[in-house]
Amino acid sequence: MHNGVFVAVFVLDRKGRPLMPCSEKRARLLLVRGRARVHRVMPFVIRLTDREKVTSQLQPLRVKLDPGSKVTGLALTRDNETVHTATGELRRGAAVLNLFALVHRGRQISEALTARRAMRRWRRGKLRYRSPRFLNRSRFPGWLPPSLQHRVDTTMAWVKRIMRWAPVAALSSELVRFDMQRLDNPEVSGVGYQQGTLAGYEIREYLLEKWGRHCAYCDVRNTPLQLEHIVARSRGGSDRVSNLTLACEPCNRAKGALPVEEFLAKRPTRLARILAQSKRPLKDAAAVNATRWALSNALKATGMPLELASGGRTKFNRMALGVPKTHALDAACVGALSGLTHWKRPTLSVSCTGRGSYQRTRLNRYGFPRGYMTRTKRVHGFQTGDIVRAEVPAGKRAGTHVGRVAIRVSGSFNIQKASIVVQGVAHRHCRLIQRSDGYGYATIPFSNGNLNAALPRTARHPVQV
């Protein structure tokens, strides 16, 4: 139980088929009475054992996705349809059951490949000559770089996991965060595209992502921001997104119609940064746009009904319903939505950690081996990434420690807890809770603030809590 709001527990029948999720209290009673057993710890899944066949009514559940470059939000919701009394219109609402924040490691993959390429080139430059072979690999249609393909694969892996644990009947996903061409030229498909209900939401969302959600002139955060023309319209400035930035009200009033060079004459460093950022493309948006069709095609291949929507529609729903900004709650607000309930829940942060490395050597600065890693992944029955429970009877580390383990050949392990690392725990004190599956888990409790601020630390230190 977190802040009076329960976390939905996944339930399987005796043959492993998904049933409707239940509350933590009901799951605890089933386990205590011997009617169920623990099927999985993170996320928590139970499996019924008392009946061969379970006859229960399944309600329509939906998995919603908010694809991102660094973090993808996922939400498991229960659809509920109501008829509007005045118009007779059928409206679809949703009740949130579970929230997930999937932290990708695409940047780590890209940096690892870059380092490997640089080391290989340096090493081969000092050995015998080898003719260049850069056209000897064919790429299939739709090929994506490994750092981008990773985002599609991990997102689909978790969609399929949720479908195995819950009776999912439909999917919803953002297809685009914002339409780059329509932002630059609204007349592409008619001026009415930006003059309807969603007027301005696409541009605002783009600028918030590009400028980091803070004032460009004073870096203030957590305050209402206004659209600011770098070159004022009275001086011939346009409404193109390359001429727009974000500013708080005091800075916007202080600048007025002054040229930005005059307004920031005493702050040349900030001036150079603003001018450079205004022309810089949004790399994260490019990554999302490069993978959006691959992800949507993979979702269609599941055979489930798929609803596609834009990020502007998501933000409109979130603002209209008064829901705070998080990756997981953004996912809950995707698509057609007239109401959202039970969204004040903790979020399970799932960080992609990988299953180890093929590289078995440590390299020096010249690209040559300087040390060799162990050939076996397991030491005394444990491997890095396992969730363990260590009960240390005495010493400086005395106590009970639950977290993600990092093994050593010596048998002295490190355990990553919520905020600290407990070093030097003997393997004989450890008991396995769950095998490593390539992900690290952390529960982020609900708060009215921005939950996304907790994700970078979670991504660096994925733990079991």
Residues 387-429: tens digit of each pLDDT: 999 999 998 889 999 999 999 889 999 998 877 899 999 999 9
Q: Residue 145 to residues 110, 148, 149, 150, 283: CA-CA distances in angstroms?
A: 9, 5, 6, 8, 14
Q: How far apart are CA 164 and CA 154, in angstroms?
A: 15
Cα distance between residue 459 and residue 420, in whole Å: 14
CA distance 220 to 251: 10
Instruction: Provide block-wise average pLDDT over 10 residues at a time, the chain (465 residues).
Output: 66 92 93 94 92 71 92 94 72 92 92 83 73 75 90 96 95 73 50 48 76 89 89 85 89 91 90 85 72 91 92 87 92 91 92 84 77 85 92 91 91 87 92 92 74 45 34
Find, among 339, 330, 325, 230, the residue nearest to 277 by Cα.
230
* pLDDT, position 184: 53
3-state secondary structure the chain: CECCECCCEEEECCCCCEEEEECHHHHHHHHHCCCEEEEECCCCEEEECCCCCCCCCCCCEEEEEECCCCEEEEEEEEEEEEECCCCCCEEEEEEEEEEEEEECCHHHHHHHHHHHHHHHHHHHHCCCCCCCCCCCCCCCCCCCCHHHHHHHHHHHHHHHHHHHHCCEEEEEEEEECCCHHHHHCHHHCCHHHHCCCCCCHHHHHHHHHHCCCCCCCCCCCCCCEEEEECCCHHHCCCCCHHHEEEEEHHHHHHHCCCCHHHHCCCCHHHHHHHHHHHHCCCHHHHHHHHHHHHHHHHHHCCCCCEEEEEHHHHHHHHHHHCCCCCHHHHHHCCCCCCCEECCCCCEEEEEECCCCCCCCEEECCCCCEEEECCCCCEECCEECCCEEEEEECCCCCCEEEEEEEECCCCCEEEEECCCCEEEEEEHHHEEEEECCCCEEEEEECCCCCCHHHHHHHHHHCCCCC
Indicate the pTM of the whole model.
0.76
Angle at 445 between CA 439 and CA 450, to 5 degrees: 95
The pLDDT, as a whole number, for residue 458 is 38
Q: Are 327 and 71 in contact (CB under 8 A)?
A: yes
Taking residue 379's Cβ as centre, other Cβ atoms within 10 Å add up to 18
- Each residue's pLDDT tens digit, 26-84: 999 999 999 999 999 999 999 999 866 556 678 889 999 999 888 999 999 999 887 76
pLDDT reported for residue 370: 83
Using CA atoms, how far residue 260 sits from 214, 231, 244, 249, 256, in Å, is 18, 7, 12, 16, 10
d(CA 228, CA 255): 9
| Phi, psi angles (nearest 5°) of residue 96 | -80, 135
